[in-house]
């Protein structure tokens, strides 16, 4: 795994020392060389909406796109007019296909994806034995890291199928919320290490050879574990790992291929954040982590930025600053305490103050990461719940 500075994507301009340049979203999604866009960031910053808006905009510009969400929320399906998303790509109806593009959407089904891997790697009887094992059912449904591993697996599946049959020329991936959004980079190693670890091998010792070869130490450990988790659970674990043993190498190889795919030139990562201190600190963490793993970073999207309301201009036509609006509001209120104009000026001052605060936060991020292009997206008046809302978000991303 290579380490170093962020690999800024081929369509993302680097800074000139005075701060990051603007991110050219249309150039990113319009370039045929861009085959995968991964949106990552902390929870509640609009990754799902950003992913869907990028996918829709790319499709309406002529790309054949599939958007994969691994966020458990159902907003993506609702905004795209699909009753329910699952592990199968479903066409989004109502897009403008005049440019020849198309858009499908899907949501990761963690257990079904794990089942598909087992079925593809094992013979019929062995696959059936694994799928019916209670320990496997628990592992595939709730084990920490399984969702992230299967997200990488599903991305690899979709990309391989698209390369083979030409179904899609762009895959947009929406990652899980919270700081664990980058866990999908670690999940394959973590899951493989667990399944192939010394503890599991120790539990397998009685099942792998004659009892006379089981040492006293192994017997003590097995006895202790039996008392802790129960004999049946231990037998389920041993049966599962014995059946799964021949698949370890396949899992590792598949994970390594997908990891290499994420590092390839055709992949672009977008870090999504809100204009708040915590969210931008997380964005800085993501940026630095992507740099450590030599992942190609396209830029930062700052969602839901404040905008100064229009209509509060001074005599010279310039928009009033925070101090000017506050002074004017105080002067007007002295003449008329219930003046509507004074209230509007105070509102303008509050909004201008928020814009200045957010601008300082973004400038601080850019000063620390001058090679990362940035696009700021203003907040919408309401929630995004249909294709028109996604189109507006896409337009704001492109015009930012």
CA 20 – CA 233 distance, rounded (Å): 55
pLDDT digits (tens, 9 = 90+) for 255-282: 778 888 999 999 999 999 999 999 999 8
What is the per-residue pLDDT for 37? 97
In this structure, is residue 70 part of a structural domain?
Answer: yes
Residues 73 and 101 reside in one and the same domain: yes
In this structure, is residue 202 part of a structural domain?
Answer: no
90-91 and 102-107 strand pairing: antiparallel
Cβ burial, residue 303 (10 Å; 0-12/13-18/19+): buried
Residues 264 and 303 reside in one and the same domain: yes
In this structure, is residue 314 part of a structural domain?
Answer: no
In this structure, is residue 372 part of a structural domain?
Answer: yes
pLDDT digits (tens, 9 = 90+) for 334-382: 777 767 777 677 777 777 788 888 999 999 999 999 999 999 999 988 8
pLDDT digits (tens, 9 = 90+) for 121-154: 888 888 898 888 887 887 787 766 677 778 878 8
Q: Give the mean model confidence (pLDDT) for residues 386-398.
A: 94
Residues 271 and 342 reside in one and the same domain: no
Residues 262 and 338 reside in one and the same domain: no
Cβ burial, residue 210 (10 Å; 0-12/13-18/19+): exposed
Distant-in-sequence contacts of 242-248, Cβ < 8 A, 24+ apart: 242/204, 242/207, 242/208, 243/122, 243/126, 243/129, 243/130, 243/133, 244/130, 244/136, 244/195, 245/204, 246/122, 246/126, 247/118, 247/121, 247/122, 248/192, 248/195, 248/196
Range of 65's domain? 7-135+148-185+257-308+366-399
Indicate the number of domains in the chain.
Answer: 2
Residues 303 and 373 reside in one and the same domain: yes
Cα dihedral 153, 69, 62, 36 in deg (nearest 10): -40
What is the per-residue pLDDT for 203? 52
Q: What is the CATH number of the domain that holds 51?
A: 3.40.50.300
pLDDT digits (tens, 9 = 90+) for 75-121: 777 788 887 788 899 999 999 999 999 999 998 888 888 898 888 88
What is the per-residue pLDDT for 245? 63
pLDDT at 230 over 50: no
CB distance 65 to 102 below 8 Å = yes
In this structure, is residue 124 part of a structural domain?
Answer: yes
Question: What are the Cα distances from residue 196, in Å, to 118, 140, 214?
Answer: 16, 16, 19
CA 205 – CA 215 distance, rounded (Å): 9
Residues 352 and 375 reside in one and the same domain: no
In this structure, is residue 249 part of a structural domain?
Answer: no
∠ CA 302-159-190 to the nearest 5 degrees? 75
Residues 335 and 284 reside in one and the same domain: no
pLDDT at 5 over 50: no
In this structure, is residue 190 part of a structural domain?
Answer: no
When comparing pLDDT for 136 and 302, which is higher? 302
What is the per-residue pLDDT for 378? 92
DSSP-assigned letter for residue 185: G
Residues 389 and 333 reside in one and the same domain: no
- pTM score of the predicted model: 0.79
SS3 336: coil
CA 174 – CA 33 distance, rounded (Å): 20
């Amino acid at each position: 795994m290579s380490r170093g500075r962020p690999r800024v994507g081929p369509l993302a301009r680097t800074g000139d020392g005075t701060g990051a340049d603007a991110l050219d979203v249309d150039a990113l999604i319009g370039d045929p060389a861009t085959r995968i866009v991964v949106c990552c960031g902390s929870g509640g910053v609009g990754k799902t909406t950003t992913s869907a808006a990028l996918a829709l905009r790319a499709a309406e510009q002529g790309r054949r796109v599939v958007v994969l969400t691994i966020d458990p929320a159902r907003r993506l399906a609702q905004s795209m007019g699909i009753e329910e998303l699952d592990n199968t790509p479903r066409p989004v109806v109502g897009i403008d296909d005049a440019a020849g593009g198309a858009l499908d959407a899907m949501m990761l089904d963690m257990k079904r994806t794990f089942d598909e891997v087992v079925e593809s790697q094992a013979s019929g009887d062995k696959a059936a034995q694994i799928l019916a094992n209670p320990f496997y059912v628990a592992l595939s449904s709730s084990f920490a890291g399984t969702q992230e591993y299967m997200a990488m697996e599903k991305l690899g599946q979709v990309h391989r199928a698209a390369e083979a049959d030409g179904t899609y020329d762009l895959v947009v991936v929406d990652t899980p919320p919270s700081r664990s959004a980058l866990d999908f980079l670690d999940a394959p190693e973590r899951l493989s290490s667990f399944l192939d670890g010394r503890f599991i091998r120790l539990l397998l010792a009685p099942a792998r050879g004659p009892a006379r070869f089981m040492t006293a130490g192994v017997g003590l450990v097995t006895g202790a574990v039996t008392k802790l988790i129960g004999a049946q659970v231990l037998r389920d674990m041993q049966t599962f790992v014995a059946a799964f043993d021949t698949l370890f190498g396949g899992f590792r190889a598949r994970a390594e291929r997908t990891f290499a795919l994420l590092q390839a030139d055709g992949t672009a990562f977008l870090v999504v954040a809100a204009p708040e201190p915590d969210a931008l600190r997380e964005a800085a963490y993501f940026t630095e982590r992507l740099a450590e793993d030599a992942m190609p970073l396209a830029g930062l999207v700052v969602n839901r930025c404040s905008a100064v309301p229009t209509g509060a201009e001074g005599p010279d036509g310039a928009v009033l600053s925070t101090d000017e609006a506050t002074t004017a509001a105080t002067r007007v209120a002295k003449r008329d305490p219930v003046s509507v104009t004074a209230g509007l000026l105070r509102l303008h001052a509050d909004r201008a103050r928020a814009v200045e605060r957010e601008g300082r936060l973004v400038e601080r991020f850019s000063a620390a990461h001058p090679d990362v292009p940035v696009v700021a997206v203003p907040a919408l008046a309401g929630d995004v719940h249909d294709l028109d809302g996604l189109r507006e978000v896409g337009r704001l991303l492109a015009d930012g």
